[in-house]
Amino acid sequence: MSRFCLQVAGPLACFTRPEMKVERVSYEVMTPSAARAVFESILWKPQIRWRVQCIEVLHPIRWMNLRRNEVSAVVSTRNVQQAMAAGGGNLGLYIEDERQQRAGLLLRDVAYRIHADLELTERSTDPLAKYTEMFARRARKGRCVNQPYLGCREFAADFRLVEDGEAVIPPITETRPLGWMLHDLDFSNPIDPQPRFFDAKLEAGRVQVPPFSETRG
């Protein structure tokens, strides 16, 4: 097991609460699943997994309201299957017909320091050092498989690797409960993954992430 630390930042973020069905309302702090996705955007293989351990909040929590145009529909699976069988078809969505405005409560001017352990899965036949060196090399050069984002893909994140012994800015000093927060999805049943939650607390600007086995459905 190897531990890495990334610092991520961006002008906007939205870690959407799943209980909000229509409007996008963000959690107050980055979720563990969003943090995991940042690490996986730099390096992911079936032979490894990322375990997020701690999230540090570096900027004060600030909010903004934003109303955006969104598309209210998706291309149906049935239409795709029919087009594949026929060798062609119209799979387009017309924005003018499907447009709707939705309000969002977003975070602005965010920065986090996220700590995660790199572990091998049962599918790995190579030593951990191989993937450790691969990730460190890619993170130092700013390389990624896809652009990391802060909750929603339109909110791109800048990232950099925090090296051991590097001088860093301290997290905010705020301490307060954050309530039940999404930890990650349980893929025990790949057809129907289920969300798992934990009772999150911000303690001197840090959120300690419990093991997945201690979460609740």
Rounded to an integer, what distance in angstroms lies between the CA atom of residue 182 and that of residue 15? 9
**Domain 2-67+104-214, what fold?**
Alpha-Beta Plaits (3.30.70)
Q: In the chain, what is the straight-line distance between the N-terminal and C-terminal CA atoms, in Å?
A: 27
Rounded to an integer, what distance in angstroms lies between the CA atom of residue 93 and that of residue 135? 39
Question: How do the domains of the chain map onto residue ranges?
Answer: 2-67+104-214
Rounded to an integer, what distance in angstroms lies between the CA atom of residue 107 and that of residue 101? 19
Q: Alpha helix locations (H) across the chain?
A: 32-42, 77-86, 95-98, 128-140
Rounded to an integer, what distance in angstroms lies between the CA atom of residue 207 and that of residue 58? 12
User: What is the value of pTM for the model shown?
Assistant: 0.85
pLDDT in tens, the chain (217 residues): 789 999 999 999 999 998 876 778 999 999 999 999 999 999 999 999 999 999 999 999 999 998 877 776 777 778 778 878 888 777 777 776 766 777 889 999 999 999 999 999 998 889 999 999 999 999 999 999 999 999 999 999 999 999 988 889 999 999 999 999 999 999 888 888 999 999 999 999 999 999 999 998 8
The alpha carbon of 96 is separated from its chain's Cα centroid by a whole number of angstroms, namely 31
